Amino acid sequence: MSALPYLKFAGPVLDEATIAGVAEVLRSGQLTSGPWVQEFETALSAFCEGRPVRVLTSATAAVEVALQLCAIGPGDEVITPAQSFFTVPNMIVKVGATPVFVDCDLATRNIDLGAVDAAITPRTRAIIPTHWPGSLVDMDALHALARRRQLRVIEDAALVIGSRWHGRNVGAFGDLVTFSFHPNKNITSIEGGALVVNSADEANRIEPLRFHGITYLSDRTRDVAFPGGKFNLPDVNARIGVAQLARLPEFLARRRALVDRYFERFATHPACVLPPRPDGDDGQSWNMFSVLLPLERLNLSRKAFRDALEERGIGTGVSYEALHLSTLGRRFGYQDGDFPVTERIARETVTLPLHPALTVADVDRVCAAVAEIITAARK
């Protein structure tokens, strides 16, 4: 075991002012959704150039509600990358639609838009791409394709709040956009998510979808016309989210400095496949730093590599498993070999520690440990 402090692979920075702010909310008696939810939604809307935003208990809830806003259900197909987190296919299946997976690009890990075009059928209703840290999906091409084929787009922007495209924040344009405020994301509300929509009408339609399906009648009673979810964010969480959003630029600058250090240290050694290197003020944000291990040249499995880092007090993650090869994915007829790039990433990827509480010395420690383990395992 290492005598050095344990390095988590992800995590938030919560300051004392935020903790004091939470205590105030707790003392106020207004615990569930209230003024802080409104404040958080107003701040997020300003961040998205005035587009309406509604917060929910998670990005997963936001994706489910987005699918419901688009009236996507049984008989419909939704195209999504096989290289992503479980959220999107889970929610597609939950609303009764069929997930149609496509492969991704090895360098950027983003959805292959050529493969999306080829996968469109008369039943296709939407595309749900996941934006990758450091490499946004080509938004010009994505939205042009969606317009041409008359499809809805739900951007899974869970990992990229703060990334910019042609100088504009992700969320400020497009169709529907979802963010996550899980503690591993660029900002947190502990658990939480947001859905950016196109109009006040769409925003109003979210209200019953996130709160039991309830509508309020003029006689001060309530009605339910469909079974809505229970996805309203408590004020305690929204209070944290407001404080975190204000610090987003600072958090992203810190993450970028750490990423620059990773690239500096990995430039010569060891031989991992790195993400595309950032280029000046390119507008990208860095929620994760994931490398591919040269497993064919090592006497070492990925599990053994991760265990060796863990023994040195360094946490890692896997982002992500191949979705089409999950038990759920296979239910839709997918099998090994369908998406070679996704499957290679799923075999070889390791996410190294990256979060704003780390120091450059911590990154140096990670890089030295990675180099040591890989050198010792060379065939």
Of 76 and 191, the one with the shorter C-beta distance to ligand PLP is 191
Nearer to ligand PLP, 45 or 351 (CB): 351
DSSP 333: T
Report the 10 Å Cβ neighbour count for 145.
18
| Closer Cβ to ligand PLP, 83 or 169, answer by number | 83
CB of 131 to ligand PLP, least distance (A): 8
CB of 318 to ligand PLP, least distance (A): 11
Contact set with ligand PLP (CB under 6 A): 58-60, 84-85, 87, 130, 156, 158-159, 180, 182, 193
Q: What are phi and psi of 126, to 5 degrees?
A: -155, 160
Rounded Cα–Cα distance for residues 321 and 325 (Å) = 8
Rounded least distance, CB 62 to ligand PLP, Å:
8
87-94 helix and 59-69 helix, angle to the nearest 10 degrees: 40
CA-CA-CA-CA dihedral for 293, 298, 300, 306, to nearest 10? -30
Residue 94 annotated to the active site: no
Beta strands 124-127; 98-102: pairing state = unpaired
> What value, to the nearest 5°, has the Cα angle with vertex 339 and ends 336 and 340?
85
Question: What sign has the CA pseudo-torsion 141, 144, 146, 152?
Answer: positive
- Residue with smaller CB distance to ligand PLP, 193 or 270: 193
Residue closest to 34 by CA, chosen among 183, 201, 238, 191 = 238
> For residue 13, which of 194, 233, 177, 258 has the smallest C-alpha distance?
258
Nearest distance, CB of residue 252 and ligand PLP, angstroms: 17
Smallest gap from Cβ 80 to ligand PLP, in A, equals: 11
Please say which residue, 56 or 203, places its beta carbon nearer to ligand PLP: 56
Out of 185, 230, 303, 379, which one is annotated catalytic?
Answer: 185
Catalytic residues: 185
